[in-house]
Each structure stands twice: as C-alpha cells, then as structure tokens.
Copies of this chain bind each other. A is one copy, B any other.
Amino acid sequence: MLTGAQTWEFRSKPTIIGAATVVGPEEGDGPLSSSFDFIYDNLEIDEKTWEKAERKLLQHASSLALMHAGITKEQLQFFIGGDLMNQIISATFAARDIAAPYLGVFGACSTSMESLAIAAMIVDAGGAKYAMAGTASHNCTVEKQFRYPTEYGSQKPATAQYTITGSGCAVVSSSGTGPRITHATIGRIQDMGIKDPFNMGAAMAPAAADTIVTHFRDTGRGPEDYDLIVTGDLASVGHAIVKDVLSKDGLSMDKTEFNDCGLMIFDRDRQNFVMAGGSGCGCSAVVTYGHIMKKMRQRELNRVLVVATGALLSPLSYQQGESIPCIAHAVALEREAGSA
C-alpha cells in the first residue's frame, strides 16, 4: 500500500458514502452557503457555553453524515475525530454520543485530512466496513483558548485568520457510491522558526509545499492530474507564499485550479472581519465535505487533492518562546467513473 516515501495508495478505493456539514451564521453568509447542510442563525448554536456549542456542531454533523450514508450509529465501527480544544473535548464528547469505538487525533487544522486518511487506511485494510472521520471548530472557543475572549475586542494584524464555526464529517466505506479516496500523503513537521501566532499562514506554507511536492514525487502525478488542488487554510498570506515556494521548486500550479479553503469560505471584501481568511479544524472539513463534494456530484470536479494544514502550537509553547511547528496532510479524492 505504501507508494513512495510517505504516501498510501488505497487499492480498494475506500468511498465517502455520506458526508455532512453544519456551520455558523458567518459561514452561512459566505459564498459557499448553498453547499452546507445546515446553517445555524446564532453563534451560540443554541447552547450555554461556546464549548457546548462546538460539541453540538460535531454531534449534528456526525448524525447527518450517518443519515446521508444510510447507516445507523450501531453499524458505524470506528469514529476518528479531533478538534482544537485542549484534550480534544469536542470530539470526545461527540464520540460519547456516537458510541462507536473511538480514536482521538490531533493535527490542529490538518485534523480533517488526518482523520480522513486514518479512516481510509482502516477501511482499505479491512479493519472496518464503515469508519467516520470528523472535526469541528468554533470561532469563540478558539479565540478564548488561544488568544483573547472575543469580548475583549483586541485588535489584530492583517495577517491574522478567522477561525470558522462549523463541523464536517464523512463516512468512509469499502463499498457504495461517492468520491473514492485514492491516496493519502502524511506530512512531516516543518518549522521555519516563525513565532508569530497572528501569522499562521506564513508558518504553515512550507508544510503545505512540502506535502504537495512529496505527493507528486511519491505518486508520479503532477498538478495537471488534478482539477483542483486546495490547501487547508493558509488564507491570503500563506497561500501566496506556498505558490511562490512551489514555483521556486520548479512546480507551476498554472495547469490546475489552486485554491485555499480559508479563502473560499468567506467573501473577504464583504466579510472583512475575517482578515487574511478562514482557519480552524472545521474549515477544510466543511469546504471539502460541503462544496468540493457537491462539485464532484455535479461532475464539475473529477480529481481533487485536499492538503489540510495545521499549526501545532499551544499558547504555552508560544509563551515559552518556541516557534510554530507545522504540518500538512493530503488526501486525493476521485469521482467514480460514470457516477452522478
């Protein structure tokens, strides 16, 4: 199954037989609005604390994903989930309700593709018929935990990103219809010494570039083999850097659509509070399981490479003067021939 140094090729082509996305009001007001399954009209998600709100997003998305997959909770064999909260409590409490065997994972915003890669690995290896990957983030839990509570009204530089409120889940199976997962490239930590948590796009860009180059080297593929290559959430600053880095590596992305989930989810002109763009565990999850899967169903996209990026800092590592280690995991999706 290993092809090249760090890429798994899934011979049985595990299939995303059902997925779901739920988002908050700001994401619901953005350009991808029509691709989400449910849009909450209040940032509190009808809950009393931000943490309960984030958990509810994941509970909601996971139950919708199971419904879309046409399976019951009892049929689900493994749930692989994570989030940005300390001790990934959102995923854990959601896993308590989902009640399936649970593997908690953490890759910051790369958790979306880390969990999907592990789900595909398990299904491809015959370790499950049904495995679900899922993640969530909430703007206010993250602001409170990593920076300042939103109510403080602290100002931010233009390089800062805006954590999205939303959750995306995908049920992977060894049979059924839907996008096939053909490859996963597991990233290495990249750390260029950047210490500014308000410029995570720049910190994460080298990790995205490294994983993209590695994916092409391992698979023998190139940009022209994909209709869309999308980075997780580098936003405006990081996405420009990764283009530049790839170009210096002799890799032109002109032959494909090259975009970023953090840029796609908001209209930065109209929604200018998002600064450089979106981020958060939920960002690449809702863009992939919402927008991208919709475009694949509509036959507008056939092959997509999702390169989810993660900035693996903690408030404490930052306060102790450490730089920001970053990672990116890539998953290749393919529309099955002839499918709707």
Instruction: Report Cα–Cα, A29/B81, bound state, in Å.
Output: 38
Please give the distance in Å from A218's CB to the nearest CB on chain B.
Answer: 11
Q: Quick one: closest B residue to A92, CB to CB?
A: B312
Check if A96 sits within 8 Å of B320, measured CB to CB: no
- B128 touching A125, Cβ below 8 Å: no
A101 at the interface (CB under 8 A from B): yes
- When the two chains form the complex, which single residue of B77, B104, B316, B317 contacts A2, counting CB atoms closer than 8 Å? B77
Contact for A100 among B78, B87, B188, CB less than 8 A: B188
With the chains together, A116 CA to B93 CA distance in Å?
Answer: 23
Among residues 97 to 142 in chain A, which have CB atoms less than 8 Å away from a CB atom of chain B?
99-108, 114, 118, 121-122, 124-129
Least CB distance from A217 to B in Å reads: 13
A299-327 CB contacts (< 8 Å) to partner B: 312-317, 320, 322, 325, 327
The docked-state distance in angstroms from the alpha carbon of A186 to that of B80 is: 11
Q: Is the beta-carbon distance between A314 and B102 smaller than 8 angstroms?
A: no
Q: What is the CA–CA distance of A16 and B107 in the complex, to the nearest angstrom?
A: 26
Does A38 belong to the interface (CB within 8 Å)?
A: no
- Judged by a CB distance under 8 angstroms, whether A95 is at the interface is yes
B103 touches A118 (CB 8 A): yes
B2 touching A87, Cβ below 8 Å: no
Interface string of A206-231 (1 = CB under 8 A from B): 00000000000000000000000000
Tell me if A49 counts as interface (CB < 8 A to partner B).
yes
| A158, CB-defined interface residue at 8 Å | no
Q: Which residues of the partner chain B approach A122 to less than 8 Å between Cβ atoms? A: 121
Q: Is A6 an interface residue (CB 8 A)?
A: yes
Q: Is the CB of B127 within 8 A of A314?
A: no
Please report the C-alpha to C-alpha distance between residue A325 and residue B93 in the assembled complex, in whole angstroms. Answer: 7
A307 CA to B255 CA, complexed, in Å: 51
A191 within 8 A of partner (CB): yes
CB <8 Å contact, B186 and A312 = no
Q: Complex Cα distance A31/B277, Å?
A: 55
B102 touches A187 (CB 8 A): yes
Q: Is the pair B320, A49 in contact by a Cβ cutoff of 8 Å?
A: yes
Residue among A77, A103, A118 with most chain B CB within 10 A: A103
Given the interface contacts A87-B313, A103-B107, A316-B86, does A92 sit within 8 Å of B325 by beta carbon?
yes
Closest partner residue, chain B, to A317 (CB atom): B89
B78/A186 in contact, CB under 8 A: yes
Measuring CB to CB, which residues of chain A are less than 8 angstroms from any residue of chain B? Answer: 1-2, 5-6, 8, 49, 51-52, 77-78, 82, 84-89, 92-93, 95-96, 99-108, 114, 118, 121-122, 124-129, 186-189, 191, 312-317, 320, 322, 325, 327
For the A-B complex with A2-B126, A87-B106, A121-B125 known, give 17 more contacts whose Cβ atoms are closer than 8 Å: A1-B127, A8-B127, A51-B320, A86-B316, A87-B108, A87-B313, A89-B314, A89-B322, A92-B189, A96-B189, A100-B188, A101-B186, A102-B187, A103-B114, A105-B105, A106-B106, A125-B127
Would you give 5 A-B contacts (Cβ < 8 Å), ordered by A?
A: A2-B127, A6-B78, A96-B191, A99-B188, A121-B125
